[in-house]
A and B are shown apart, each in its own frame.
Chain A
Amino acid sequence: MNIVVCMKQVPATSRVEIDPETGTLIRLGAESRTNPYDLYALETALRIRERTGGRVTVLTMGPPQAEQMMQDAYRLGADDAVILSDRKFAGSDVLATSYTLSQGIRMLGIPDLILCGRQTTDGDTAQIGPALAEHLGIPHAAWVGAILKADKKSIEVRQTLASVTQISRLKYPCLVTVEKDICVPRLPSYRLKRETAGRPVRVLGFRDLPETDLSLCGLVGSPTRVESMFSPPENPRKVMLEGDTREKASALVAVLREKKLVEGGEAR
């Protein structure tokens, strides 16, 4: 049983602002961490491996610094780690990112199961997983809240949709994206830390992909373009409530009564 887990390194803080003078972005801080949602995908993979045997490979597209995330994944129990890294991948949107990941997976050989997190904390689209499944031509189930059964042929999953829960069975190969409450990720083990120290992480570039078609990668392969950025506009009708705490509270309650949002007062 081969499992690939897609993980991404994301900025540790989300503090980005627009410089009011130049209208450009300022990012404060360059530290990275593992996308927290992906730890649930990795944990799910490790638990399935415990039952069925096999290998867990972690795959990412990102800068070479993702090596740190991969070492962490080894300490949690991953068997293998592959980083797809190339300047030609710069500026990838959903289409180009999922395409590049699909190429990485084709190169590794299509596994039985691919696991993704629910979303990333920087892109926050929750779209890469299903897009990747489409590139590979395999079925997927997204936002899975529980794995009910996983054997060497198929997986049974439970998803909560808007008004129903659905239990489905998917034969391998397939892709599953997991919810945050699917399991509690384990902590890195000291034994594994010692055992995996110095274990290499494979870094592959554009030239290593099975199809080397530049028009599908990076900026050129990304149909969406950010035309401009702006700060959200200010609301012109705002009312500041003045006075001491009691006065502000009574002014607020008076407004709410006037708008019939709360009961009481002379209005009734």
Chain B
Amino acid sequence: MTTIHFDAAACNLCRQCIEKCPFGALTLGDEGLEVNEKCRMCGVCVKVCPVRAIRFEQKPSRDPADKSKWKGILIFAEQENGELHPVTYELIGEARRLAAKVGYAVFAVLVGGEETEKNAEELLPYGVKEVFYYQHPGFSGFRADCCADAVADCISQLRPSVVLIGATALGRSLAPRLSVRFHTGLTADCTKLDINPNTDLVQIRPAFGGNVMARILMEYSRPQFATVRYRVMDRAEKTDGPTGRVKRMPVSDAMARSGIEVLKISPLPREKTLEEEEILVVAGRGAKNEEGVALVRSLAEALGGRLCFTRPMAECGLGDGGSQIGLSGRTVRPKLIITCGVSGAIQFTAGMSGSECIVAINSDPNAQIFSIAHYCVVDDLFQAVPAILEQLETGKEAL
């Protein structure tokens, strides 16, 4: 475990650390520097101290995990209403990529009702070594407590080094419960993963609420839990001659017992989700008002795509929250995305940077969005969008 160590004798009272701390976490007390609960371990103080009076100190945790006893990567294959969630194949793809680097195998676990065995078999062609499934009528419908019991049973037997879970409504209920149970770390909504030769999982996600990405490690605990959004990682390909097998795991009545009674499950009307759209057009705060939004909407309509929004637009009521793109909205990877009046904050781009073709329209040539866009239009959207609409029209006439 890391703590901040302060050497009072070396300190020259320059106060640089206090001024530069982005979180206001440092104060000068009677015995020198004091770190308060706002500290996020960003390390700025360590870097700015001219006399090196501050350093990170590694303290052995109560019980550091023996890494060699935790091997392999386990993915949670989520089912809903009897169907596998498509994020499952993306988790397998990512797990295989990571596993290849450190010579690990990939495993999967399913928890559900009668359709579970069939779904477990579906995963074998994708290069999973063993698929463990817990099938019991008590597991149909989603109950976080007993689902966690079943997955915890699997983890205790398999002892995987890494557990990947989809950052879906279910996954976000399950992952925190499991990480607490194993007294280990969890990084939510990773946008990128890697693995070090010593099997430490490198988890990258936007952090601190700013335009900053953080690399996060859990060096002393196993298993390492991470959740990943749908549409962030690449789907697994089928392998030639798969050799994996499925294994039915015994389910005790205690395991299927839950404090949650499911009264009713109703399927939602099946419509194309934002994640499935091929063309998206985003209205950001630059669209200003209803008129601007209507303009951007007509571009979406002309392209046969869907209109979506940045968070400030959803918050102020100009856009609906269900169509918000980004870290606290949806993650999309369409063929084409056109952003209109979007600054390109990292919390936004985290939800769309995997798109195949990114077009940005912004009047500010220094806008962040231009650092990730493929085609950059520096212009006032109230001028540019009508011009594009006109060009699209003339094209049609030429048909």
Q: Give residues in A with beta carbon < 8 Å to B.
A: 11, 14-18, 22-27, 30, 61-63, 85-87, 89-95, 98-99, 119, 121-122, 124-131, 133-135, 138-143, 156, 159-171, 174, 180-181, 215, 218-232, 234-235, 237-241, 245-246, 248-250, 252-253, 255-257, 259, 261-266, 268
Contact B388 A249 (CB under 8 A): yes
Task: Give the CA-CA distance A122 to B207 in the complex, in Å.
Answer: 8
Chain B 134-173 per-residue mask, 1 if CB under 8 angstroms from chain A, else 0:
0000000111110010000000000000000000111011
Contacts of A119 in B (CB 8 A): 328
Contacts of A255 in B (CB 8 A): 375
Contact A168 B263 (CB under 8 A): yes
Task: Give the CA-CA distance A135 to B179 in the complex, in Å.
Answer: 10
Which B357-387 residues have C-beta < 8 A from chain A? 357, 359, 370-380, 383-384, 387
- What is the minimal beta-carbon distance from A26 to any residue of chain B, in angstroms? 6
Contact B61 A215 (CB under 8 A): yes
- What is the minimal beta-carbon distance from A140 to any residue of chain B, in angstroms? 6
The reply on B197 being an interface residue by CB < 8 A is: no
- What is the minimal beta-carbon distance from A99 to any residue of chain B, in angstroms? 8
Contact B173 A227 (CB under 8 A): no
Q: A228-B214, A241-B375 are in contact. Are A138 and B259 (CB under 8 A)?
A: yes
Contact B180 A131 (CB under 8 A): yes
Contact A225 B219 (CB under 8 A): yes
**25 A-B pairs, CB-CB below 8 angstroms?**
A24-B47, A27-B210, A87-B34, A89-B37, A91-B4, A95-B179, A121-B209, A127-B175, A130-B177, A131-B186, A142-B169, A164-B266, A164-B267, A166-B141, A168-B263, A215-B1, A223-B61, A225-B2, A232-B353, A238-B376, A241-B376, A245-B379, A249-B377, A252-B375, A257-B395
Contact B48 A220 (CB under 8 A): no
Contacts of A25 in B (CB 8 A): 22, 42, 44, 208, 210, 212
Question: By CB atoms of chain B within 10 A, which of A26, A63, A133, A261 has the most?
Answer: A261
Contacts of A139 in B (CB 8 A): 143-145, 258-260
Contact B40 A226 (CB under 8 A): yes
The reply on B188 being an interface residue by CB < 8 A is: yes
Task: Give the CA-CA distance A134 to B173 in the complex, in Å.
Answer: 10
Partner among B35, B185, B395 whose Cβ is within 8 Å of the Cβ of A223: B185
- What is the minimal beta-carbon distance from B197 to any residue of chain A, in angstroms? 15
Which 4 pairs across A and B sit closest by C-beta, in order of nearness? A16-B210, A264-B395, A27-B22, A139-B259
Contact A223 B335 (CB under 8 A): no
Contacts of B172 in A (CB 8 A): 126-127, 130, 142-143
Contacts of B377 in A (CB 8 A): 241, 248-249, 252
The reply on B176 being an interface residue by CB < 8 A is: yes
| Chain A: CB-nearest residue to B269 | A163
Contacts of A141 in B (CB 8 A): 144, 260
Contact A140 B41 (CB under 8 A): no
Contact B177 A220 (CB under 8 A): no
Task: Give the CA-CA distance A122 to B262 in the complex, in Å.
Answer: 33
The reply on B12 being an interface residue by CB < 8 A is: no
Contacts of B303 in A (CB 8 A): 261-262
One of B77-85, B103-111, B246-254 at the interface: B77-85
Q: A164-B81, A171-B259 are in contact. Are A220 and B59 (CB under 8 A)?
A: yes
**Chain A contact residues, majority secondary structure:** mixed
Contact A220 B61 (CB under 8 A): yes
| Chain A: CB-nearest residue to B227 | A127
Contact A249 B387 (CB under 8 A): yes
Contacts of A256 in B (CB 8 A): 336, 359
Which B185-223 residues have C-beta < 8 A from chain A? 185-189, 202-203, 207-221
Task: Give the CA-CA distance A4 to B78 in the complex, in Å.
Answer: 31
Which B261-284 residues have C-beta < 8 A from chain A? 261-268, 270, 279
Contact A163 B268 (CB under 8 A): yes
- What is the minimal beta-carbon distance from B33 to any residue of chain A, in angstroms? 11
The reply on B327 being an interface residue by CB < 8 A is: yes
Task: Give the CA-CA distance A77 to B336 in the complex, in Å.
Answer: 48
Contact B188 A127 (CB under 8 A): yes
Contact B373 A235 (CB under 8 A): yes
Task: Give the CA-CA distance A171 to B259 in the complex, in Å.
Answer: 7
Task: Give the CA-CA distance A171 to B35 in the complex, in Å.
Answer: 41
Q: A93-B185, A241-B377 are in contact. Are A24 and B42 (CB under 8 A)?
A: yes
Which B28-59 residues have C-beta < 8 A from chain A? 34-44, 47-48, 59
Contact A263 B396 (CB under 8 A): yes
Contact B39 A91 (CB under 8 A): yes
Contact B392 A63 (CB under 8 A): no
Task: Give the CA-CA distance A89 to B40 in the complex, in Å.
Answer: 11
| Chain B: CB-nearest residue to A228 | B215
Contact A130 B173 (CB under 8 A): yes
The reply on B9 being an interface residue by CB < 8 A is: no
Contact B188 A126 (CB under 8 A): yes
Contact B176 A226 (CB under 8 A): no
Contact B23 A27 (CB under 8 A): yes
The reply on B20 being an interface residue by CB < 8 A is: yes
Contacts of A159 in B (CB 8 A): 142, 169
- What is the minimal beta-carbon distance from B150 to any residue of chain A, in angstroms? 15
Task: Give the CA-CA distance A241 to B383 in the complex, in Å.
Answer: 15
Contacts of A170 in B (CB 8 A): 259-261
The reply on B237 being an interface residue by CB < 8 A is: no
Task: Give the CA-CA distance A30 to B218 in the complex, in Å.
Answer: 29
The reply on B118 being an interface residue by CB < 8 A is: no
Contacts of B38 in A (CB 8 A): 62-63, 90
Task: Give the CA-CA distance A139 to B174 in the complex, in Å.
Answer: 11
Task: Give the CA-CA distance A139 to B279 in the complex, in Å.
Answer: 40
- What is the minimal beta-carbon distance from A100 to any residue of chain B, in angstroms? 9
Contact B189 A125 (CB under 8 A): yes
Q: A131-B176, A168-B261, A220-B61 are in contact. Are A90 and B374 (CB under 8 A)?
A: no
